[in-house]
Amino acid sequence: MPHNYTCVEKDEVAKLCDGLNTCSFVDLRKQLYYYCKDSDYKQVYTSFECVPTTEDTTCRTNICSEDNPSIKCRRGSVFHLLGAKCFSMRQDCPRKVFVTIYRSCEGKRTCALSVLRSEIPHSICNDDLFRQQNLFMDYICVDTSTVTSNCDVGTYIKQEPRFGILQNPGYPDNPNGNPKGCYWAIYTESDHKEIEVTIHEAYSVEGLHVCETQNLQVTVFIPTVRYF
């Protein structure tokens, strides 16, 4: 493709890699072929730059690509799913796909992509339309100290770090939850007034009408300040 040619889907191609520390696992060759297939040229020239950052960068892999290796976090860290996009970067995956990935890999050191490909619906990675042969998964490897999955009856667990992951004890092997309930207390730092909570998975047991132990409740406590 000539240097002066601009692909009409340039912005969509850029979304595949912007903000990542590597673009090796999104199956970029096939993506470029699809987005720029109307060109008569068989070569694509790209330009990019790597910029420094002080934040942990997101990793992205295309589960549908059989060339991608399984994910293995460094010793002392585990997999944490951030999100998934099916078909293209503009479309969220069906909830069943997200839950399958989450239950298979969340909190584990390794994530076998070959196993995931066999568990997700066949139509995601095997469709007549080329564009629908994608399952982009965003993830990070987090230190095991950021994951809290203990739940002592009658006590509160303080989640003080600026980033943490809360899991029901024994997840995902305990679909009935903890009948005694779990309580976490999250504190803000002095210079941060807001707490952002992302719920990755919450479900109830089908046919269970008593919901005392099958719900998630968020309570905001505002301390009272007295002046004398």
Predicted model pTM: 0.75
The pLDDT of residue 224: 47
The pLDDT of residue 91: 81
Is the CB of residue 29 less than 8 Å from the CB of residue 68?
Answer: no
Other Cβ atoms less than 10 A from the Cβ of 178: the count is 13
The pLDDT of residue 223: 52
The pLDDT of residue 2: 46
The pLDDT of residue 78: 93
The pLDDT of residue 131: 53
Tell me the C-alpha distance between 125 and 135, whole Å.
7
Tell me the C-alpha distance between 219 and 198, whole Å.
15
If you search the block for the tokens 């990755």, which residue do you land on? 200
Q: List average pLDDT for each run of 10 residues in the chain, which is 228 residues long.
A: 58 82 81 71 74 83 86 93 85 87 90 90 73 83 84 66 77 65 71 75 58 62 48
The pLDDT of residue 137: 92
HSE, side-chain direction, 13 A CA sphere, residue 185: 8
Element (DSSP H or E) covering residue 31: helix 28-35
The pLDDT of residue 170: 72
